[in-house]
């Protein structure tokens, strides 16, 4: 899915291709989702995001179709700005706010996969440690205590930061899912860790192979 | 929020009038004034008719930065006094920043001394927005570095951000997709209060703009020196990729073609920025000449980039120009001057952010994120359709003519009628006085032989830690972690590697090659050393060139072409002019000798506060190409047992060194010797070693010498080193000398014979100085000292976070 200010859309297309699936570019102004079986909302600044990250993207024609699709079980992965859009669209609880140190941060980040039962994490082992790039200015995940407790109780924390918390996220949360597990939001960037040549690792590829398996078997 | 969503492209249609159709009836009252020959034609606008009728009107040309002779020349060209709009245009176009009037006579050497290789690889040379280099397989690359120094001092965040925005548009204008940026930054002392204001703002500006555009930042420099205190240097580089047969040029051809202004609306920001900011020094005794710095909107630029690339792909423009310094004045005159020579503009059709702007302000405005294209009437509907898709405001503001004149009307009144070449190409040229500064002999004569050197192992150890934790050599992650280096997914190497490396590929390539990405890559490094240049500007420029060249070769790429950003003090100071002329001569000679042509660049003068100029700082960018990016050589020492070789000769060279600066705050003597033939040989060996898999890591030696390079390689890869000081060399010289033409390489034991045979055959000195040791995880200089990597890392990484939080 490409919004006017999407930046990592090409990376997401490459990751899908390397995982063995056929990537289909989608345009924010179209409400028709073509014949796609899963959707990646990429990183970037969707509509400039001068107001609040993802706040406008949720109202785009394509997002209205995606919201309907996600509620009907269509797998959706929101990365970085895509995660922000999913929160703004209320497909995921909580919000992402400015990093606690007030600076943009780009670094190779250690994560622990906390839930390998979602549509997007089946190829990981529960508790597996991975390293993928993290890059955000507004990546601190926040929610009220009840919501955080519920997310943990229901196993909906998909990934957590290891080592120093890079942005002030509550409970070191790097990614969460909806209760059905088809919608996942992730602040770090697995699509930048799919090739030895350009990524710190290839640890991110399993997000994309996972979804391929889950849609094939569905 | 002023989102372009709200800026409907429908306006494009409503304002889509060809020249001559402008509705002037609303100003009928003003027209009545003109019929009575009032001075206040169209609400006070100075028309060509007015100018003819009032030849003696006093004009504020001096306030606009024009000299008496320059004003007289304008009157001679026009055969009358200029209108105030024309005066505004001449003042910005003839400013130092736009006309290169003080530097032109020297810069000619880049073309005159162009190496033979230039004709084979240059598709577009100096003079266009950016040079274009053929890199093979049908691909071409365009790259350029430009300064945004003065605005970044006044308003660090926006100054730096719009510096990135401007250079990205230069690259886009050539028809290329921008694929990466780099930034060479220089600040006052790291612990100075003003540096705490300027540096975080500049870094956030570079990062904020580049990150939001989705361009990886793959390298650059951060340097501290007291002379940059009130004169920070912000030099931004952008590189773009295009097909060799799809270059776009800035020219307006074909009478009847439409002139379209598209992108952001024009506002009052940056008015006079080009001439006034770049010409005036920051002197407290004179009235302030610091107008508003332009404000950037990276989202608007991102959309503009995608919009332009779609327009280019459909081949819809005959000429295109970005609006940077001097805004509309520059774009219209340069397009007209390069094409059929005529253009008629209806200035009142320019979409404004502020409706109160007068023509002079519109002509001088440096509002960001604007482009101007020349489009045939046939292509216009499709062009407008693409702008609408991207919600980009596009307005036909005039058309190409065969009159040989650039004319502009404001609500029907003629306010500009000039020969465009006189603005764009025939500006004043000065032969400024050049004189070697009186203190140069004294400076060169004191070689600092009296400076106390560390002798014992403990003293050497203390010096090593002090150097590695000094701001110039310390870890720059505090800065570079604010830049996205991953976006676009083609970054093969980024800082702190010796050069940034990008895989050259696109959708079309993948479609034609079964979905596989290309293996071709480009490498870029930017380097400069103001202290060396202060000691010897000719050698200093060549040392900057040599370092960038060496950095590119160290990563395995073959150096191809050069861009440069020349940062100096006032050209009106003969001593500064001597530094400048020597540096240009050194760079031109060096490029000729190395066989890599200069493709373009930028000059920034007046980097001085009152009488004290910055260190003369030529920053040189070298572009290289590598056939297979998988063969690149990183700096990291990561494999146990590999053999460490030092390539090149080490002499006792401490003039302008980091050691003399950090340990003694001393600058004197002469810089390291330059041997460009040796640089070429070293580069050949490094490139062959990369291609043939003879080395697993390599790192060039520059500031701080061997110890600094070893530290960076060890910390990057996690392996320690056991180092042996060779016989006959003083340990201090061995560790900290800054002799040029050197690199260290990590050679797998299985490749040692092949590697040393190659060096022997090519007569490159190669000295085995140690072995990598993963388990030890320490940097040990046998018989002298030992520092664990943990301690080294603490010393190296703590400095910048402690200073800047």
pLDDT mean by block of 10 residues, chain B; 805 residues? 34 34 34 38 79 92 90 96 93 89 94 91 79 92 94 92 92 93 98 96 95 95 96 97 84 87 87 43 39 76 94 92 89 87 93 89 89 95 96 96 94 95 91 95 93 97 98 97 96 97 91 88 98 98 98 98 96 96 98 96 90 94 97 97 98 97 96 98 98 97 98 97 96 98 98 98 98 95 97 98 94
Residue from A88, A114, A138, A191 carrying the catalytic annotation = A191
Taking an 8 Å cut-off on Cβ atoms, the answer to whether A192 and B486 are in contact is yes
- Return d(Cα B173, Cα B369) in angstroms, integer: 12
The answer to whether the beta carbons of residues B374 and B319 sit under 8 Å apart is yes
- Residue whose structure tokens are 């009038």: B17
Instruction: List CB contacts of B550: < 8 A, sequence separation 6 or more.
Output: B498, B679, B682, B683, B700, B702, B740, B741, B743
Is the Cβ of A4 closer than 8 Å to some Cβ of chain B? yes
pLDDT at B251: 74
Nearest chain A Cα to B303, which residue? A4
Residue A189 to chain B, least CA–CA distance (Å):
9
Number of domains chain A is built from: 1
Whichever domain contains A181, its CATH number is: 3.40.50.880
Half-sphere exposure of B767 (CA within 13 A, CB side): 17
Closest CA to A214 of A109, A75, A86, A72: A75
Q: Do B300 and A191 touch (CB under 8 A)?
A: no
The total number of residues shown for chain B amounts to 805
Among all residues of chain A, which has the CA nearest to that of B214?
A7
Residue A4 lies in a domain: no
ipTM of the complex: 0.95
Instruction: Please indicate whether, in this complex, the C-beta atoms of B489 and A192 are within 8 angstroms of each other.
Output: yes
Q: Which of B390, B416, B386, B385 is nearest to B403 (CA)?
A: B416
- The C-alpha atoms of residue B493 and residue B512 are separated, in whole angstroms, by 26
Q: Which long-range contacts (CB under 8 A, 24 or more apart) does A145-150 make?
A: A147/A93, A147/A94, A148/A94, A148/A173
- Residues linked to residue B539 through DSSP beta bridges, in sequence order: none
Asked if B167 and B213 count as a contact pair (C-beta separation under 8 A), the reply is no
From its phi and psi, is residue A34 left (phi > 0), alpha (psi between -120 and 50) or beta? Answer: left
- B2: closest chain A residue by CA: A50
B605/chain A closest Cα distance in angstroms? 32
Q: Do B3 and A56 touch (CB under 8 A)?
A: yes
What would the two tokens of residue B753 be?
């014979």
Longest dimension (CA), chain A: 43
Q: Does B489 sit within 8 Å of A10, measured CB to CB?
A: yes
Most distant pair of Cα atoms in chain B: their distance:
95
- Backbone φ and ψ of B195, nearest 5°: -65, -35
Interface touch A4/B302, C-beta < 8 Å:
yes
Q: What burial class does residue B353 get, using C-beta atoms within 10 Å of its C-beta: 0-12 exposed, 13-18 middle, 19+ buried?
A: middle
Rounded Cα–Cα distance for residues B23 and B367 (Å): 25
Phi and psi at A70, nearest 5°, equal -65, -40
Note the pLDDT of residue B722. 97
Q: Which residues contact B510 (CB under 8 A, 6 or more apart)?
A: B516, B517
d(CA A135, CA B666): 40
pLDDT, residue B5, reads: 32
Cross-chain CB nearest to B481 (options A4, A14, A106): A106
Across the interface, of B1, B477, B483, the residue whose CB is closest to A50 is B1
Instruction: Report yes or no: A153 at the B interface, CB cutoff 8 Å.
Output: no
Nearest of A57, A76, A88 to residue A207 by alpha carbon: A76
Q: Note if B148 is an active site residue.
A: yes
Please check whether residue A88 touches B, CB under 8 A: no
Judge whether A1 lies within some domain. Answer: no
Query: Distance from first CA to last CA of chain B, Å, rounded?
Result: 30
Chain A residue whose CA is closest to B208:
A104
Q: Are the beta carbons of A106 and B486 separated by less than 8 Å?
A: yes
Asked if A8 reaches chain B (Cβ–Cβ under 8 Å), the answer is yes
- CB–CB contact B481 A5 (8 Å): no
Tell me how close the Cα of A151 comes to any Cα of chain B, in angstroms: 30
Per the omega criterion (within 30 degrees of 0), is the bond before B683 cis? no
Enumerate the β-bridge partners of residue B786. Answer: B780
A92, part of any domain: yes
Instruction: Work out whether strand B342-346 and strand B406-410 pair parallel, antiparallel, or are unpaired.
Output: parallel
Which pair of tokens denotes residue B394? 């596009």
Question: How far B478 CA lies from chain A's nearest CA (Å)?
Answer: 9
Question: A116 lies in a domain?
Answer: yes
Instruction: For residue B220, list its beta bridge partners.
Output: B183
How far is A94 from A99, CA to CA, in rounded Å? Answer: 15
Bridge-partner residues for B719, per DSSP?
none
Give the Cα separation of B331 and B321 in Å (integer): 6
Residue A6: DSSP 8-state: B
Three-class secondary structure of residue B526 per DSSP: strand
Rounded to the nearest angstrom, the minimum Cα separation between A178 and chain B is 27
Question: Residue A84 domain-assigned?
Answer: yes
- By C-alpha distance, the chain A residue nearest B301 is A5
pLDDT score recorded for residue A34 = 66
Question: Is A191 noted as a catalytic residue in this protein?
Answer: yes
Token couple for B32: 């009545």
Structural domain of residue A122, as residue ranges? 9-217
B428 in helix, strand or coil? coil
Out of A5, A103, A105, closest to residue B299 by CB: A5
CB contact under 8 A, B486 and A189: yes
Separation in Å, CA B461 to CA A142, B474, B650, B747, B769: 47, 16, 20, 26, 18
- On the question of pLDDT at A133 being above 60, the answer is yes
Q: What is the pLDDT of residues A151-183, one digit of tens each?
A: 999 999 999 999 999 999 999 999 999 999 999
Measure the CA–CA gap between A59 and A69, rounded to whole angstroms: 15
Q: Is residue A37 part of a domain?
A: yes
pLDDT value, residue A109: 97
Q: From the candidates B201, B478, B484, B514, which should be mutated to test the interface with A, based on the most A CB atoms within 10 A? A: B484
Q: Answer whether residue A3 is part of any domain.
A: no
Q: Which one from B106, B148, B150, B699 is the annotated catalytic residue?
A: B148
State the Cα–Cα distance between residues B24 and B415, nearest whole angstrom.
Answer: 14
Measure the CA–CA gap between B799 and B464, rounded to whole angstroms. Answer: 15
* Whether A197 and B629 lie within 8 Å, measured CB to CB: yes
Residue A198 contacts B, CB cutoff 8 Å: yes
Partner-chain contact A106 B391, CB within 8 Å: no
- Spatial neighbors of A72 by CB under 8 A, at least 6 apart, are none
Q: What is the pLDDT of residue B90?
A: 94
Q: Quick one: pLDDT at residue B511? A: 85
Minimum CA–CA partner of B300 in chain A: A48
**CB pair distance less than 8 Å for B204 and A104:** yes
Judge: B5–A56 Cβ closer than 8 Å, yes or no: yes
Q: Give the DSSP H or E segment for B145.
A: strand B139-147
Strand partners for B144: B238
pLDDT at B634: 98
Q: Which residues of B touch A20 (CB under 8 A)?
A: none
Among A53, A80, A88, A192, the one annotated catalytic: A80
pLDDT given at position B396? 97
Question: What is the C-alpha to C-alpha distance for residues B326 and B284, in angstroms, rounded to an integer?
Answer: 26
Query: Is A80 one of the catalytic residues?
Result: yes
Residue A188: closest C-alpha in chain B: B486
Torsions phi, psi of B395, nearest 5? -140, 130
In this complex, which of A105, A195, A197 lies closest to B481 when CB atoms are compared?
A105
How near does any CA of chain A get to the CA of B475, in Å? 14
How near does any CA of chain B get to the CA of A43, in Å? Answer: 9
Among candidates B299, B389, B482 on the partner chain, residue whose Cβ is nearest the Cβ of A104: B482
Q: Does A58 touch chain B (CB under 8 A)?
A: no
> To the nearest whole angstrom, how far is the Cα of B675 from the nearest Cα of chain A?
34
Contact A191 B489 (CB under 8 A): yes
Q: How far is B143 from chain A (nearest CA, A)?
A: 21
Of all residues in chain B, the one with the smallest CA distance to A45 is B212
Is residue B327 within 8 A of residue B364, CB to CB? The reply is: yes
Backbone torsion region of residue B279, taken as left when φ is above 0, otherwise alpha when ψ lies between -120 and 50, otherwise beta:
alpha
Residue B648, pLDDT score: 98
Contact: B299, A48; criterion CB under 8 Å: yes
Of B1, B477, B489, the CB nearest to A11: B489
Task: Give the span between the Cα atoms of B176 and B150, in whole angstroms.
Answer: 28
In a domain, A178, yes or no: yes
Facing residues of B603 across strands? B566
A199 touches chain B (CB under 8 A): yes
Measured CA to CA, the distance from residue A170 to residue A144 in angstroms comes to: 9
- A-B contacts (CB, under 8 Å): 103
Residue of B nearest to A48 (CA): B299
Contact in structure between B698 and B710 (CB atoms under 8 Å): no
Tokens of B708: 């600094």
Give the strands of the sheet with A129-136, arranged side by side. A39-41, A76-79, A183-186, A173-177, A157-161, A105-113, A129-136
| Closest by CA position to B276, among listed B489, B51, B61 | B61
Secondary structure of B718-731 in the HEC alphabet? CCEEEECCCCCCCH
pLDDT for residue B130: 80
Enter the tokens of residue B60: 């504020």
Is A138 near chain B, with CB under 8 Å?
Answer: no
- Angle made by CA atoms B250, B256, B259, in degrees to the nearest 5: 45
CA distance A12 to B196: 38
Question: Given this model, what pLDDT does residue A171 score?
Answer: 97
Query: Rounded to an integer, what distance in angstroms lies between the CA atom of residue B326 and that of residue B339?
Result: 19
* Contact between chains at A198 and B1 (C-beta distance less than 8 A): no
pTM of the model: 0.92
């Amino acid at each position: 899915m490409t919004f006017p200010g999407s930046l990592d859309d090409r990376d997401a297309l490459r990751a899908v291709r390397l995982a063995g699936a056929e990537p289909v570019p989608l345009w924010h102004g179209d409400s028709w989702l073509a014949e796609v079986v899963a959707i990646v909302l990429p990183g970037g600044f969707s509509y400039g995001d001068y107001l609040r990250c993802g706040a406008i993207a949720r109202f785009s024609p394509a997002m209205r179709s995606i919201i309907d699709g996600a509620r009907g079980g269509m797998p959706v992965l929101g990365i970085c700005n895509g995660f922000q859009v999913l929160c703004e669209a209320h497909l995921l609880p909580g919000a992402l706010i400015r990093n606690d140190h007030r600076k943009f941060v780009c670094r190779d980040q250690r994560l622990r996969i906390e839930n390998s039962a979602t549509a997007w994490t089946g190829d990981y082992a529960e508790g597996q440690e991975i390293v993928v790039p993290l890059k955000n200015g507004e990546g601190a995940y926040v929610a009220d205590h009840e919501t955080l407790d519920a997310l943990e109780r229901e196993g909906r924390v998909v990934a957590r930061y290891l080592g120093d918390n890079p942005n002030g996220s509550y409970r070191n949360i790097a990614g969460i899912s909806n209760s059905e597990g088809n919608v996942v939001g992730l602040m770090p960037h697995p699509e930048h860790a799919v090739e030895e040549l350009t990524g710190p690792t290839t640890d991110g590829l399993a997000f994309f192979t996972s979804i391929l398996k889950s849609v094939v078997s569905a | 929020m002023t989102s372009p969503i709200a800026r409907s492209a429908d306006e494009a249609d409503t304002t889509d009038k060809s020249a001559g159709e402008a509705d002037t009836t609303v100003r009928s009252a003003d027209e009545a004034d003109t019929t009575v020959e009032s001075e206040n034609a169209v609400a006070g606008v100075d028309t060509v008719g007015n100018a003819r009728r009032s030849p003696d009107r006093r004009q504020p040309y001096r306030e606009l930065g024009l000299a008496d002779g320059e004003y007289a020349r304008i009157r001679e060209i026009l055969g009358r006094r200029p209108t105030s709009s024309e005066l505004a245009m001449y003042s910005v176009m003839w400013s130092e920043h736009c006309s290169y009037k003080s530097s032109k006579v020297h810069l000619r050497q880049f073309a005159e001394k162009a190496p033979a290789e230039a004709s084979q690889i240059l598709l577009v040379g100096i003079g266009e927005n950016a040079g274009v280099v053929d890199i093979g397989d049908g691909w071409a690359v365009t790259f350029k570095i430009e300064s945004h120094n003065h605005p970044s001092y006044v308003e660090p965040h926006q100054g730096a951000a719009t510096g990135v925005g401007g250079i990205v548009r230069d690259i886009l204008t050539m028809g290329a997709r921008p694929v990466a940026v780099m930034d060479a930054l220089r600040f006052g002392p790291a612990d100075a209060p003003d540096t705490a204001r300027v540096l975080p703002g500049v870094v956030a500006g570079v990062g904020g703009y580049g990150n939001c555009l989705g361009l990886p930042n793959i390298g650059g420099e951060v340097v501290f020196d007291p002379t940059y205190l009130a004169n920070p240097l912000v030099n931004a580089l952008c590189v773009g990729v295009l097909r060799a047969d799809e270059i776009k040029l800035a020219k307006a051809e074909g009478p009847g073609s439409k002139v379209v202004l598209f992108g952001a609306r024009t506002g009052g920001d940056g008015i006079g920025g080009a001439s006034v900011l770049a010409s005036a020094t920051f002197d407290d005794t004179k009235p302030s000449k610091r107008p508003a710095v332009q404000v950037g909107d990276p989202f608007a630029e991102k959309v503009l980039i995608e919009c332009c690339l779609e327009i280019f792909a459909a081949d819809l423009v005959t000429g295109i120009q970005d609006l940077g310094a001097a805004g509309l004045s520059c774009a219209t005159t340069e397009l007209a001057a390069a094409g059929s020579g005529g253009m008629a503009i209806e200035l009142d059709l320019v979409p404004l952010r502020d409706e109160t702007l007068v023509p002079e302000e519109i002509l001088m405005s440096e509002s960001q994120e604007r482009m101007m294209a020349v489009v045939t009437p046939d292509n216009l509907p499709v062009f407008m359709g693409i702008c609408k898709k991207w919600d980009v405001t596009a307005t036909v503001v005039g058309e190409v003519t065969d009159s040989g004149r650039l004319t502009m009307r404001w609500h029907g009144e003629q306010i500009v009628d000039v020969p465009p070449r006189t603005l764009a190409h025939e500006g004043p040229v000065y032969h400024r006085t050049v004189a070697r500064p009186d203190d140069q002999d004294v400076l060169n004569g004191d070689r600092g032989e009296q400076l106390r050197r560390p002798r014992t192992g403990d003293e050497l150890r203390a010096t090593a830690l002090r150097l590695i934790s000094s701001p110039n050599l310390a870890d720059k992650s505090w800065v570079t972690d604010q830049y996205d280096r991953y976006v676009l997914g083609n970054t093969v190497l980024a800082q702190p590697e010796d050069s940034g490396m990008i895989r050259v590929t696109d959708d079309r390539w993948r479609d034609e090659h079964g979905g596989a990405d290309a293996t071709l890559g480009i490498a870029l490094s930017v380097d400069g050393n103001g202290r060396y240049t202060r000691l010897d500007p000719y050698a200093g420029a060549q040392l900057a060139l040599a370092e960038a060249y060496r950095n590119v070769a160290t990563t395995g790429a073959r150096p191809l072409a050069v861009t440069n950003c020349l940062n100096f003090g006032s050209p009106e100071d003969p001593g500064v002019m001597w530094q400048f002329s020597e540096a240009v001569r050194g760079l031109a000679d060096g490029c000729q000798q190395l066989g890599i042509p200069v493709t373009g660049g930028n000059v920034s003068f007046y980097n001085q506060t009152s009488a004290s100029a910055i260190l003369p700082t030529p920053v040189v960018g070298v572009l290289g190409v590598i056939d297979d990016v998988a063969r690149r050589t990183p700096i990291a020492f990561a494999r146990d047992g590999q053999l460490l070789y030092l390539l090149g000769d080490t002499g006792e060279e401490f003039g302008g060194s980091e050691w003399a600066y950090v340990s003694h705050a001393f600058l004197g003597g002469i810089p390291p010797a330059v041997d460009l033939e040796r640089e070429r040989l070293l580069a050949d060996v490094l490139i062959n070693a990369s291609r043939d898999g003879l080395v697993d890591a390599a790192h060039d030696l520059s500031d701080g010498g061997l110890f600094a390079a070893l530290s960076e390689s060890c910390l990057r890869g996690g392996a320690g080193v056991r180092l042996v000081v060779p016989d006959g060399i003083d340990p201090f010289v061995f560790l900290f000398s800054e002799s040029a033409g050197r690199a260290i390489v990590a050679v797998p034991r299985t490749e040692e014979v092949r590697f040393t045979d190659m060096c022997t055959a090519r007569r490159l000195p190669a000295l085995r100085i140690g072995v990598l040791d993963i388990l030890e995880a320490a940097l040990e200089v046998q018989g002298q000292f030992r520092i664990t990597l943990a301690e080294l890392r603490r010393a190296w990484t703590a400095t910048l976070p402690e200073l800047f939080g």
